[in-house]
Amino acid sequence: MRFRKQSNGKQIKWEKYMVYIIFVAVFVLFSITLRNNGFLGVNNLLNILRQTAMISVMAVGGTFVMAAGQIDLTVGAVAAMSAMIVSLIIQSTNSILLAIGVAILFGCLVGVINGALVTKFKLPAFLATLGMMQIIRGGAMWITNTEAIPIDNQIYNNVFGIGMIGPIPVLILWTILFYIIGYYAFNKAKFGRYVLATGGNEKSARYSGIDINKVKIKAFAISGALSAFAGIMYSGRLQAGRYSYGTGDEMSVIAAVVLGGTSMSGGTGSVVGALVGSILIGMINNALILAGLRTAQQTIIKGAIIIITVALSNVLQSRNEIKN
């Protein structure tokens, strides 16, 4: 989210800050109502961040894809496949570099295929990635016949999953790293401008000398690579590769990105917003568990909160448009 300087007398664009306002409101609410359940404990707060790290990392890629006017449903499946790839390679070669290199390449490749399906074969992104998601998830099940592969390499597990640097879990550090890179690429670099222009008005972008196909393919490739990294984080944290990692993550990522202020039709977006969006989702998850709600109830409340937040910011936005 880009904070614009507000000169005196101008109205503040509330919808831009919606996710932050809701974040603070929800945080305060949980801090009060769940104060006896340990919500505010340092460990619990770090736990929230650690648990949402994978969604957060995938949401960086999701921001690029959705700002370009596309959608990527393969993220969870790519994470699962990537975890399988890493654990198999470490099992047979014990080479960490080879393992993560191949996994990330795989993620990139899936992104390029998604991009090619959308740009060359003119499939809608929703359908193209829906099909790819099934193919990849199926592949991840098939590769070991749904068996989990344990990872014995403790260096790997520490670096990508369970380790800590001082009091801070490595998962959080990885998340911060990707957000810094993502923020600069999206807000400060040429590529971010090209992505936003392509999502904002594809025709104009093309008439401005931008190769819109390349922009879309690159956005998908970034999303694929980051999803593969999320898979690496899953496998490190749980010290094994499992085909079921990341099931349903595509929906959490889309929700996080949209909550963060990225328009589903493209052209606007915010990397920082996506981070806040994913932490918000993680925080709600955590609080509902602490409150002792059953899974069924948790699911219902999560859905309702997503609808309310997005609806609120849309209502505020259309009110602003009328004023203008």
Partner 1 sequence: MSEILEMKGISKSFGVPVLKNVDFGLEEGEITALVGGNGAGKSTLMKIMTGVYTKDSGSIHINGNECKIDNIQDAKNNGIAMIFQEFSLVPTMTISENIFLGEEIMHGKRRDVAAMHERAIELLARLGLDVNPDETISDLSVGMCQMVEIAKALSKEARILVFDEPTASLSESEINHLFNVMKKLKKNGISMVYISHRMNEILEISDVVTVLRDGEIVMHEKAKELSLYDIIYAIMGRSNSGFNWQEREYDSSNTLLQVDHLAINRKINDISFNLKSGEIIGFAGLMGSGRTEILETLFGIRKKLGGKITISGEETEIFSSVDAVREGLALIPEDRREQGLVGIHSVKENAILPGIDNYKKKRFLIDEKKANKVVESNIKEMKIVVDDKDKQINLLSGGNQQKVVIAKWMNTNPRIMMLDEPTSGIDIGAKTEIIQLMKSFADEGNGVIFVSSELSELMSVCDQIYVLHNGMITKKYNRKEIDNEEMLQHAIQKAI
Closest to partner 1 by CB, 40 or 264? 264
Nearest CB to partner 1, comparing residues 170 and 258: 258
Q: What span, in angstroms and rounded, lies between the C-alpha atoms of 64 and 222?
A: 8
Residue closer to partner 1 by CB (options 210, 254) is 210
- Both tokens of 148, joined, read 């989990």
Round to the nearest angstrom and report the end-to-end CA distance of the chain: 21
279 touches 56 (CB < 8 A): yes
With contact defined as beta carbons under 8 Å apart, do 236 and 161 qualify? yes
For residue 254, the minimal CB distance to partner 1 (Å) is 21
- State the minimum distance, in angstroms, from the CB of residue 274 to partner 1: 19
Q: Across the strands, what pairs with 130? A: none
Residues that bind partner 1 (CB under 8 A): 4, 7, 184-185, 188-191, 193-194, 196-197, 200-201, 203-211, 267-268, 324
CB of 232 to partner 1, least distance (A): 25
* Closest distance to partner 1 from the beta carbon of 7 (Å): 8
Q: How far is the CB of 183 from partner 1 (least distance, A)?
A: 11
What tokens appear for 272 in the block? 């920082």
Q: Which is nearer to partner 1, 83 or 272 (CB)?
A: 272
67 or 149, CB closer to partner 1? 67
Q: What are phi and psi of 223, to 5 degrees?
A: -60, -40
Inter-residue contact 292 to 283 (CB < 8 Å): no
Q: Using CB atoms within 10 Å of the CB of residue 44, give its burial: 0 to 12 exposed, 13 to 18 middle, 19+ buried.
A: middle
